Structure 1
């Protein structure tokens, strides 16, 4: 597949992740994610396989039902696509043992996805968890100069 096709697949993948219609999102995921996908990042450790990846996604969906990605950059080389931007949403469900706060959050994310034969086979996701935890009121850090 071409670099442009891989970018398109990844953007479709994140549109599926952000789709508020859960049934439609799962159908899209089946078309875009390989059964043997390997995913890493955001406190998940290593997730092996479609079902584990979807379970993590459902946990995030439950925590942030209105969550969505906004990307400032989409960069591709060979079979890898990098997306850089933000994730925003309202904390309405438990996440990593943190009870819902009802707070709006926006934090930076960087993803590296590998596409083979039109499907995501590897995913690395990193988010600014310190900013997320600050916005949820779970941690506070001194400001520079304090």
Structure 2
């Protein structure tokens, strides 16, 4: 099962996040998805997830995820990531800075029937906001 989970995670980041093919999200996400993003958003459906991703893509059109580590235990996985992008669009009322950003994060997944049912993203928001020159967040 660990090999299958690793492959799902790698394809999820490549296809959904890096290639921005949100129409493929259902390949990886269970309809009952419970997703918590590092920017304080929580969604409970594939459509809600896609709305969240579109918001990020509008602020960071070239957002890219690099997997640093994957640890799998049964039906759960922890992934350490590095995010890179250029702040080219408005984000939570903060005007685009044009700044290139790079910060670390992690995502904790739970799987059922080879689909992601739970994902909790924790990003280094202090590093992100510092690179965006945001003082009040």
TM-score (norm 2): 0.92
1:18 corresponds in structure 2 to 18
Confirm whether residue 118 of structure 1 aligns to residue 117 of structure 2: no
What's the counterpart of residue 65 of structure 2?
69
2:26 maps to 1:27: no
- Give 1:27 shift: 2.7
Is 2:81–2:104's contact at 8 Å kept on the other side of the alignment? Answer: yes
Tell me the distance in 1 between the aligned counterparts of 2:110 and 2:121: 12
Of 93, 98, 101, which residue of structure 2 is paired with 1:105? Answer: 101
- Aligned residue number for residue 86 of structure 1: 82
The 8 Å contact of residues 65 and 90 in structure 1, kept in 2 or not, is answered as yes
User: What's the counterpart of residue 53 of structure 1?
Assistant: 49
Length-normalised TM-score, structure 1: 0.87
How far the C-alpha of 1:116 sits from its partner, in A, is 1.2
Question: How far does the alpha carbon of each residue in 1:66-114 deviate from its partner, in whole angstroms, 9 at most, with x for none?
Answer: 1111121111011111110210000111112211111100001100111
Kindly name which structure, 1 or 2, has the bigger radius of gyration based on alpha carbons. 1
C-alpha RMSD over aligned residues? 1.4
- Tell me, what secondary structure is at the counterpart of 1:112? strand
Instruction: State how many pairs are aligned.
Output: 135
User: What is the deviation of 1:45?
Assistant: 3.6
Q: 1:118: how far off?
A: 1.5
The answer to whether residue 2 in structure 2 is matched with residue 3 in structure 1 is yes
Kindly indicate whether the alpha-carbon contact (under 8 Å) linking 2:25 and 2:46 is maintained by their aligned counterparts in 1.
no
Partner Cα separation in structure 1 for residue 62 and residue 107 of structure 2: 20
Instruction: Name stretches of at least 5 consecutive residues in structure 1 with no aligned partner.
Output: 141-146
CA distance in 1, matches of 2:82, 2:76: 19
Tell me, yes or no, if structure 1 residue 37 matches structure 2 residue 33: yes
